[in-house]
Amino acid sequence: SYEVTQPPSVSVSPGQTATISCSGDKLGDKFTSWYQQKPGQSPVLVIYQDKKRPSGIPERFSGSNSGNTATLTISGTQAMDEADYYCQAWDSNTVVFGGGTRLTVL
Amino acid sequence: QLQLQESGPGLVKPSETLSLTCTVSGGSISSSSYYWGWIRQPPGKGLEWLGYIYYSGTSSYTPSLKSRVTISQDTSKNHFSLKLSSVTAADTAVYYCARYYGNAFDMWGQGTMVTVSS
């Protein structure tokens, strides 16, 4: 079955750019979505179809997807962006989530 | 404004069947283009997709749990349901229902914690 892989953790200083990767075989041929989850809360969609932002998501969140890697980029990272981030793809009528990346803003 | 709300027992005994319902308000589960799905998250771990059902009634499940999972819908009550059979402690998790549209889960319920224990 299809799998996508994320780094367990990423650290960034406030105001800097955070990048979180998601890797999978020919992932660039599939749509990737990204979710933010803060402790005790439900996940929130922040990027869908590789690079689209849902209404209400700040412009500092952006996405890209090419080759075997999709990337979530957070520009001008703020303390409120500290959370777990999950990528998600679709393959052969099944949905797969990455293992999640904990973003620490320090 | 679409809202999803999970409901069901918070405690299930080992070997029994876990049953949850997701009630949708502010929209119809019969609307075309939408899938309605279940995702779970064991304590301290990541998200796991369990399956989804299309408005037409067709469903798809994660391969590792396919033999134990059933998702159904009741359009008259505007809700869809999850059944997970032969549960063990490994099935202890927060269970979320969510709407799948545009290759993403764009709307989520608040989640419900289910513990498997005797």
Name the stretches of chain A with pLDDT < 50.
none
Mutant choice from B1, B40, B41, B47 vs A, greatest count of A C-beta within 10 A: B47
Q: A28: which residues sit within 8 A by CB, 6+ positions away? A: A65, A66, A67, A68, A69, A70
Identify the sign of the CA torsion B46, B82, B101, B110.
negative
Q: Check residue A100 and give its pLDDT.
A: 98
Per-residue pLDDT of chain B in tens (118 residues, 90 and over written 9): 999 999 999 999 999 999 999 999 999 999 888 999 999 999 999 999 999 999 889 999 999 999 999 999 999 999 999 999 999 999 999 999 999 998 999 999 999 999 999 9
Q: Minimal Cα–Cα distance from A77 to chain B, Å?
A: 23
Say if CB B20 and CB B116 are below 8 A apart. Answer: no
When scoring A29, A33, A38, A42 by the number of chain B Cβ atoms within 10 A, the one with the most, hence best to mutate, is A42
Look at the alpha carbons of A101, A103, B3, B5 in this order and tell me if their dihedral is positive or negative.
positive
Instruction: Look at B104 and A99 and tell me if their CB atoms are within 8 Å.
Output: no
Whole-angstrom Cα Rg for chain A: 13
The residue written with tokens 């750019």 in the block is: A17
Asked if A103 and A20 touch (Cβ cutoff 8 Å), the reply is yes
Cβ atoms of residues B99 and B36 within 8 Å: yes
- Residue pair B25/B78 in contact (Cβ under 8 Å)? The answer is yes
pLDDT of residue A95: 97
How many interface pairs between A and B have CB atoms less than 8 angstroms apart? 59
Chain A contact set for B109 (CB, 8 A): 42
Distance from CA of B60 to the nearest CA of A (A): 7
Contact A88 B62 (CB under 8 A): no
C-alpha–C-alpha distance, residues A89 and A72, integer Å: 13
Residue ranges of the alpha helices (H) in A1-106?
none
- Which residues, 6 or more positions from B21, have their beta carbon under 8 angstroms from its beta carbon? B6, B7, B8, B79, B80, B81, B82
Output phi, psi for A80, to 5 deg. -70, -15
Instruction: Tell me if residue B35 falls in helix, strand or coil.
Output: strand
pLDDT of residue B31: 87
Per-residue pLDDT, B32:
85
What are the structure tokens assigned to B96, written together? 């979320």
| Per-residue confidence (pLDDT) for residue B33, from 0 to 100 | 87
